[in-house]
Every structure is written in C-alpha cells, then in structure tokens.
Amino acid sequence: MDGTSTKFELDRSASLNMANDQLTDLPSYIEPLDPSMYSIDGFCDGYAARRHARQGVATAASLAFRTRFFDAVGDPSERSTFTFENPTHGHVVTLLMPHTRPERLALLSALSEYFCLHDDGEDGTGLEMTVVRKLVRRELLSELLHQISRVNVLQAQNILQSLASYAEAAQMQGTLHFDNVEGYIDFRFVDFGAEFLLACTMFGLDMNPLSGAERAIVDPFVQVAYRAMALINDYYSFDVENASMKTSAHSVNGVGVLMELNVLSVKSAKEALRLLAPDMIACS
C-alpha cells in the first residue's frame, strides 16, 4: 500500500468517526430525561426520552399566543384549557421536537398553541366558534406564517398545507363511523395532525419539503412514529376529551372506538388499546 492509499484510509476513518460523533452526541440544548420522572405504562419500553433544554422560551411563546387570543375573544378563565405547555414534564414541542434549532423554538411553540385551537367546530376551549373567534384565530395564524416565511418560505408553505389536511379531517369527525380499528387508525393518522407535526419538525431542523422519492423512503418510519403517538395520545387523553363532550357520544378516540366495536368498559378498552398499540405499529 502506497502513502497516498494510507492517507486516504486515514482521512476516510476520520470522516466516519466524525459522522458517528455527530449522530451520537447531543447538542448542548438537548437534555436526557430521567425515566423516574414519568410513567409510560408499558409504552415504548427502552426509549430514551430527551427534551429541549430551553423550556422558558417555549413556555413564554405559548402563553403569549394564548393571552393574545383570549384577550381578543375569550374569558380569562378559559386559559387553563388544552395547551401544549406542560409544567410537569416540559412543553410538548420540547419533548416531541428536542432537536429544534434554538432560534426557531419560540415560533414553533406559538404555532403549537394555534394548533390546540385549530378546529372549525370548537376551538379547543369547549366553546362554540363565532365569526369573531375564527377571524382572530386566522389573523394570528397569518402573523405566525408570515414570521415563519421570513425564515423560510418553502417550510412555511409546507406547514400551511399540513394544516389544511388536518382541518379537512377535523370537519369529518362528527360524521364518521368505523367498522374496524384499522379504519380508525388510518383516519387518526391525519386527524392526529401527523403531517403538521412532521412539517413543524422539519422547520425546526431547517429541512425543506421532501421530494416524492425522498418521502417514499422515510414514509414507513413516519407512519410508525405517528401511529404510535396517536394511539398513546388516545390512551392518556380519553378521559379529558370525553368529559368535554356535550352529548352522550364518545369523542373520536381509539378508546371510544374499541368500546363501541367490542362493547367494552372504559377500563377494558384502555387495556385493549395499550395491548393493541405494539401490534398496529409492527404492521405499519
């Protein structure tokens, strides 16, 4: 082996080591979570949870957005309802998207609060929408998208398109009947806001929209990740969502679907969903 070949092998080895370091070392703004901080009830065993360390930025942005919204259209007592801000385990954006670039965290956190209010039937507060509420909400979204587009136009368009698909699914909620769990899971993938969360994740990572060929490569992983998240969300959110319903009907939730399909109690349906989640993910 000549000197040139030896140098090439050394350079290649150094490059591989550097790439490996970049994959395994966490940026300074990401912190691992102690498993003792939370109970996962058998979901995602072995998963090492991480969180964006800048909780204050995320919380301030979310609360500022909610304050603007409720100052314009609502009663201050409503401000404690559904939100992405979680003082116990951390802001949802910091948990779902811990790799978000720090300078983009505030925008994503504010946008997450819009998502909590994004439903043409109700706005997440349990109150019927009015023309004024819709107008204020859309004005706030326009402001957010304008700010995001100043950072990256393509990524802002990607987020807007994902919100459109979510809105379409949300409008269908009251008219849907599921003959099987698989049909519900297919619907829930959209209704859960999977495409919106993916678009936000990509913005946080400074990634432009994927081409068709690129999306085909990553889609199996996307399907697995967001099916898992949707089912786990259903498991933990059923009681709160069901209590907020104004009729005797159950919310569009996997627990409620299993109750109706198999004539189960809430407790039995939750256990069935907990056992079903790994199977649904494995079949994706």
- DSSP of the chain, one letter per residue? --HHHHHHHHHHHHHHHHHHHHHHSPPTTEEEPPGGG---TTTTTT---EEES-HHHHHHHHHHHHHHHHHHHS-GGGGGSS-S--TTT--HHHHH-TT--GGGHHHHHHHHHHHHT--SSB-SSSSB--HHHHHHHHHHHHHHHHHHHHH-HHHHHHHHHHHHHHHHHHHTGGG---SSHHHHHHHHHHHTTHHHHHHHHHHHTT-PPPPHHHHHHHHHHHHHHHHHHHHHHHHHHHHHHHHT-SSSSPPSSHHHHHHHHHT--HHHHHHHHHHHHHHHHHT-
Residue 73 lies in a domain: yes
Residue 8 lies in a domain: no
Number of folded domains that form the chain: 2
What is the arithmetic mean of pLDDT over 219-225? 86
What is the arithmetic mean of pLDDT over 111-140? 68
- Tens digits of residue pLDDT in 244-280: 655 445 557 889 899 989 999 999 999 988 887 765 5
Q: Could you tell me if 142 and 172 lie in one domain?
A: no
**How much of the chain, in percent, has pLDDT values that exceed 90?**
29
Residue 11 lies in a domain: no
Q: Could you tell me if 205 and 261 lie in one domain?
A: yes
Residue 55 lies in a domain: yes
| CATH code of the domain in which 97 resides | 1.10.600.10
Q: Which of 89, 118, 151 is the last residue of a domain?
A: 151
Q: Could you tell me if 164 and 214 lie in one domain?
A: yes
- Report which of residues 85 and 34 the model is more confident about: 34
Average the pLDDT over each of 37-51, 68-82, 83-97, 258-272 and give the range with the smallest value. 68-82
Q: Could you tell me if 266 and 242 lie in one domain?
A: yes
Q: Could you tell me if 272 and 195 lie in one domain?
A: yes
What is the arithmetic mean of pLDDT over 102-110? 95
Domain that holds residue 138: 29-151
Average the pLDDT over each of 79-93, 186-200, 240-254, 267-281 and give the range with the smallest value. 240-254
Mean pLDDT over all residues of the chain? 77
Residue 238 lies in a domain: yes
Q: Could you tell me if 146 and 159 lie in one domain?
A: no
Residue 207 lies in a domain: yes
Q: Could you tell me if 184 and 250 lie in one domain?
A: yes
Q: Could you tell me if 165 and 132 lie in one domain?
A: no
